[in-house]
Amino acid sequence: MTLLRLYPAPTQACTLEGLYLDTPLDHAPHAIPFVYSNFVTSLDGRVAVEDAAGHDEVPTSVANRHDWRLYQELAARADALLIGGRYFRQLAEGRAQAALPVADDPAFSDLLAWRRTQGLRPQSDVVVLSNTLDFPLPETLLEQGRRVLIFIARSLISAERRDRLAAQGAEVIGLDAEPDAASITGELDICQVVRRLGERGYRRIYSVAGPYSLHSLLRHGVLDTLFVTQRLTMIGGERYQSLLEGPALAAPVGLSLASLYYQQDVDGGAGQLFARFDRRASAEAAGR
């Protein structure tokens, strides 16, 4: 699939496959992991809409196989995927969009092979953020050889739920809650999560979680890069679910455009833009 690179100059045609396999996802020599996330939205900024049963899901008019390819490429780069507990509840109810990447699908076998050539484990580990531990652990994760680390504020741990998840093979890690009094009460300190992951040798963390987790990552200045696919279609909807879920940020988080690609036609439908935004250097020190 051919794309048009719009930024940085010069404008030129390029191939979608492999686009995010060599985009830089590293700090200079830095013990702290590089954290990145990725969303697909409509032109009116919606990342999810309510289905007939009132459940949120990624709009089918927005999701598409080309964006999905790049989502899988970003996962191929990761040492660990970051996800919220809500995803596992959705998965157990049969409402999750898909299994965690890299998908076991012949279309992505090149990505699994790519991981092998890079000396990476066959699949990345899974880091779960939770306030509740109220979800079952999907057996497939451990069968795929992934380690599962679950982080929760120590004050919110239910011993019964912790023991159940540990018996299923996960490691449950209790941390101090956010020190910031203005924060969401009792919530996990995401800076500590990233630090702990760095201590364990994780270097690239890919957040495939939703708008609530992105709010935490931005609020604490731990997100390095955000990839946004914007499908050039307006979809509307009663409830507006954007990239961020949570209170207004105390300080706006500035980002810089690092790259922008245009796909004019998506399988005969509206086109899309693939943007990469990097956190601006001025925010670099926040929370680290």
Ligand X SMILES: NC(=O)c1ccc[n+]([C@@H]2O[C@H](COP(=O)([O-])OP(=O)(O)OC[C@H]3O[C@@H](n4cnc5c(N)ncnc54)[C@H](OP(=O)(O)O)[C@@H]3O)[C@@H](O)[C@H]2O)c1
In whole angstroms, the minimum distance from the beta carbon of 199 to ligand X comes to: 19
Q: In what order do the strands lie in the sheet with 204-207?
A: 12-15, 2-7, 255-263, 272-279, 225-231, 34-41, 204-207, 80-84, 125-129, 148-153, 171-175
d(C-alpha 57, C-alpha 95), whole Å: 8
In whole angstroms, the minimum distance from the beta carbon of 85 to ligand X comes to: 2
In whole angstroms, the minimum distance from the beta carbon of 158 to ligand X comes to: 11
Nearer to ligand X, 104 or 134 (CB): 134
Nearer to ligand X, 54 or 106 (CB): 54
Nearer to ligand X, 42 or 123 (CB): 42
Nearer to ligand X, 211 or 271 (CB): 211
Nearer to ligand X, 119 or 179 (CB): 179
Nearer to ligand X, 25 or 172 (CB): 172
In whole angstroms, the minimum distance from the beta carbon of 175 to ligand X comes to: 10
Nearer to ligand X, 25 or 153 (CB): 153
In whole angstroms, the minimum distance from the beta carbon of 101 to ligand X comes to: 12
Nearer to ligand X, 88 or 108 (CB): 88
In whole angstroms, the minimum distance from the beta carbon of 63 to ligand X comes to: 7
In whole angstroms, the minimum distance from the beta carbon of 10 to ligand X comes to: 30
Footprint of ligand X (CB under 6 A): 39-40, 47-48, 56-58, 84-87, 97, 129-132, 134-135, 187-188, 190, 209-213, 216, 245
* Angle CA 44–213–286, to nearest 5: 105
In whole angstroms, the minimum distance from the beta carbon of 9 to ligand X comes to: 28
C-beta of residue 67 within 8 angstroms of C-beta of residue 19 = no
d(C-alpha 37, C-alpha 96), whole Å: 18
